[in-house]
Amino acid sequence: LVLQTDSTSSLSRNGKLREKTLTLDTLNPQVKAVEYAVRGPIVIKAGEIERYLEEGGTKPFSEVIKANIGDAHAMGQKPITFLRQVVALCTFPELMDSPSFPEDAKRRARRILQGCGGHSLGSYSASPGVECIRKDIAAYIEQRDEGVPSDWENVYLTTGASDGIMTILRLLVSGKDSSRTGVMIPIPQYPLYSAAISEMDAVQVNYYLDEDNCWALDINELHRSYQAAKQHCQPRVICIINPGNPTGQVQSKKCIEEVLHFAYEENLFVMSDEVYQDNVYAPDCQFHSFKKVLYEMGPEYFNSVELVSFHSTSKGYTGECGFRGGYMEVINMDPEVKAQMVKLLSVRLCPPLAGQAAMDVIVNPPQPEEHTFKQFHQEKSSVLGALAEKAKLTEKILNAVPGIKCNPVQGAMYAFPRIFIPPKAVEEAKALGMQPDMLYCLRLLEETGICVVPGSGFGQKDGTYHFRMTILPSIEKLKVLLGKVRDFHIGFLKEYSGLE
Residues within window 124-143 making contact with a copy of itself, judged by CB under 8 A: 124-127
- Contact 113/93 with Cβ under 8 angstroms? yes
Question: Of 411, 410, 409, 375, which Cα lies nearest the Cα of 394?
Answer: 409
Among 31, 58, 99, 231, binds a copy of itself (CB under 8 A): 31
Task: Tell whether residue 300 is a contact of a copy of itself (CB under 8 A).
Answer: yes
Interface residue with a copy of itself, options 46, 65, 67, 71 (CB under 8 A): 71
Interacting stretch for a copy of itself, rule CB under 8 A, among 112-120, 220-228, 287-295, 436-444? 112-120
B/e letters for 161-170, b = 16+ CB within 10 Å, e = fewer, are bbbbbbbbbe
DSSP letters of 92-142? -GGGGG-TTS-HHHHHHHHHHHHTSGGG-TTSPPPTT--HHHHHHHHHHHH
Q: Which residue among 1, 347, 431, 499 contacts a copy of itself (CB under 8 A)?
A: 347
For a copy of itself, give the closer residue by CB, 228 or 339.
Answer: 339
Q: Rule CB under 8 A: is residue 279 a binding residue for a copy of itself?
A: no
Considering only residues 213-272, where is the footprint of a copy of itself by CB under 8 A?
A: 236-237, 264, 267-269
From the CB of 494, what's the least distance to a copy of itself, in Å? 35
Window contacting a copy of itself (CB under 8 A); options: 56-64, 115-123, 382-390, 408-416: 115-123
| Binding of a copy of itself by 322 (CB under 8 A) | yes
- The footprint of a copy of itself on residues 147-206 (CB under 8 A) is 159-160, 162-163, 166, 170-176, 192, 195-196, 199, 201
| Strand partners of residue 269 | 237
Q: Which of the residues 40 through 69 are near a copy of itself (CB under 8 A)?
A: 40, 47, 69
Q: Which stretch binds a copy of itself (CB under 8 A): 119-127, 141-149, 414-422, 423-431?
A: 119-127
The site for a copy of itself, by CB under 8 A, has a size of: 110
If binding is defined by CB under 8 A, does position 332 make contact with a copy of itself?
yes
Say whether 369 sits in a helix, a strand or coil: coil
By beta-carbon proximity to a copy of itself, the closer residue of 174 and 206 is: 174
Q: Using CA atoms, how far apart are residues 413 and 391, in angstroms rounded to an integer?
A: 8
Angle CA 120–121–125, to nearest 5: 95
Using CB under 8 A, which residues numbered 423 to 462 contact a copy of itself?
none
Burial of 416 (0-12, 13-18, 19+ CB in 10 A): buried
The sign of the torsion formed by the CA atoms of 350, 354, 355, 356 equals positive
Of the candidates 472, 325, 463, which has an alpha carbon nearest to the alpha carbon of residue 384?
472
If the CB atoms of residues 52 and 92 are measured against a copy of itself, the closer one turns out to be: 92
Q: Radius of gyration (Cα) for the chain, nearest Å? A: 24
Q: What are phi and psi of 313, to 5 degrees?
A: -85, -10
30 binds a copy of itself (CB under 8 A): yes
Residue 365: CB minimum distance to a copy of itself, A? 16
Q: How far is the CB of 337 from a copy of itself (least distance, A)?
A: 5
Q: Does 73 bind a copy of itself (CB under 8 A)?
A: yes
| Contact of 64 with 46, CB cutoff 8 Å | yes
Closer CB to a copy of itself, 23 or 143, in the complex: 23
What size, in residues, is the chain? 500
Nearer to a copy of itself, 300 or 369 (CB): 300
Query: Which residues are within 8 A (CB) of 346 and not within 5 positions of it... i.e. 6 or more apart?
Result: 127
Residue type, 180: R
Residues 467-486 that bind a copy of itself (CB under 8 A): none
Considering beta carbons, is residue 433 or 498 the nearer one to a copy of itself? 433
Contact 374, 385 (CB under 8 A): no
* Among the listed residues 46, 65, 67, 87, the single contact to a copy of itself using CB under 8 A: 87
In the beta sheet, which residues pair with residue 300? Answer: none
- Produce one character per residue of 325-342: b if its CB has 16 or more CB atoms within 10 Å, e if not: bbbbbbbbbeeeebeebe
Residue 490 interacts with a copy of itself (CB under 8 A)? no
CB contact set of 464 (below 8 Å; sequence gap of 6+): 211, 418, 455
Closer residue to a copy of itself (CB): 261 or 443: 261
Pick from 15, 57, 60, 335 the residue near a copy of itself by CB under 8 A: 335
Among 323, 376, 414, 458, binds a copy of itself (CB under 8 A): 323
The least CB distance from residue 334 to a copy of itself, in Å, is 5
